[in-house]
Amino acid sequence: MGYDVDCDKMKDECGVFGIWALGQSEEAANFTYLGLHALQHRGQESAGIVSTDGETLYVHRAMGLVADIFDAGVLAKLKGGAAVGHVRYSTTGGSHVKNAQPLAVQYAGGPIAVAHNGNLVNAEALRSELEAAGSIFTASTDTEVVVHLLARAHPAAAPGTVEHLVGSVRQALGRVSGAYSMLFLTPKAIVGARDPMGFRPLVLGRLKGNWVLASETTALDLIEAEYVREVEPGELVVLDASGLRSERLFPDRPPAPRLGRCVFEHIYFARPDSVLFGRSVYEVRQAFGTQLAKEHPVEADVVIPVPDSGVPAAIGFAETAGIPFAMGLVRSHYIGRTFIEPQQSIRHFGVKLKLNAVRGLLKGKRVVVVDDSVVRGTTSRKIVKMIRAAGATEVHLRISSPPTAWPCYYGIDTPTRQELIASTHSTAEIATYVTADSLGYLSLDGLYAAIGAERTGFCDACFSGQYLLEFPRRQNHAPLRLVGG
């Protein structure tokens, strides 16, 4: 029987990477492999690369981790100087190789591959419409809806040209609503597009005169590419033989009235060594800890993080509170997403396989343990009990984000609202459940004070319930408050 040791964390989204070096290099697949390796934290379920030599698309997708899927033999078959890649954790569509990306098809405009980070809130309605019109779907991912919309597009430009691709992308994305940072690859070009509210990150880099697109700057760092800038919300970029050009995705529409950049990227999803929305992720997380110490001070002997994402915030908390910092929990980096249990009775060992308390640092101490979030509360409860079992006299839990009380529909695989402990329990009740002596969450105002930005630039629906895009109501969801455009 398998058990998910990360059951109390938001599931990572997806990551995309693309490079256009056609005519300049034959190692596009190798660079894409490295880029995906740097984005592995964004999805550990499946991965894929599609490359081109200017004539043909070469495809390899499989379930598993990047390093396990791509070896030298596989990469050698992915020919050419341009490629796009994808790492996936399912948000829409199940865990199956048929849903692995990039999706690659042949349509009237020629061969094309599509890689998508995000979630389309009207995908179900569009799929029903397309099926009624005769479309046949082979996967259950919302990205396939975009593929069918591409096939039905009728741009004025001749098929097979870059302008036909750009026109098809505009028409297809003009029908969808939701979060997307997408890459489209043909033998002629790569087109990158980011939704008008900018929910999901996408950055632009330069490698020896060639252009690179990626979900995070860590992918640029690994291949020693220069970070140029973010792809702006509502921007379309074209990489082809003539270089780079940028256009508005929907030139006939007014810009979005506000931005909806995912604030949870700063809290948990992005790697701490990334630069996200113009800020160092590490510095922002440390600032979360600083603000948390101001809002919820406590007398204690040691501050410890829940590794790895809680480390910067714990450092900030410790420095501000004047309490020593220590790595009182040690993480095993060799545990996979599941493990085989010898018997049902030791299922609770799941967290202990991932984390172990350092008894010598904790025995007889009043401990502050800092984590980035609490989802169901199950893992926090086990961690607090583990720290007590190591001899701590008090355990004070501090969370470097507000209570997560609402599900996300924009590209994060969250539990239903009924499963989110903060949706039905007060902070005091959660503290009792996790057996902590005290519990403190970072306030929403404190969150933005630490980021140093206005709330109107971000989406925080998972904390506030204020959704920025309307979507079809589903059963078992509470009424939603809608704000913005």
Catalytic machinery residues:
14
Distance between CA 425 and CA 433 in Å, rounded?
10
Maximum distance among all Cα pairs of the chain, rounded to whole angstroms:
75
Three state DSSP letters for 436-453: CCEEEECCHHHHHHHHCC
- 384 contacts 397 by C-beta, under 8 angstroms: yes
Hey, is 165 helix, strand or coil? helix
Closest listed residue to residue 227, CA positions, set 196, 253, 204, 260 = 204
Structure tokens at 458: 């971000």
Sign of the CA dihedral with 4 first, then 399, 376, and 275 last: negative
Residues in the chain: 485
Nearest to 190 by CA among 101, 114, 110, 78: 114
Sheet holding 189-194, edge to edge: 103-107, 110-120, 178-185, 189-194, 235-240, 243-248
Extract the tokens encoding 49: 């690369």
Beta bridge partners of 84: 18, 50
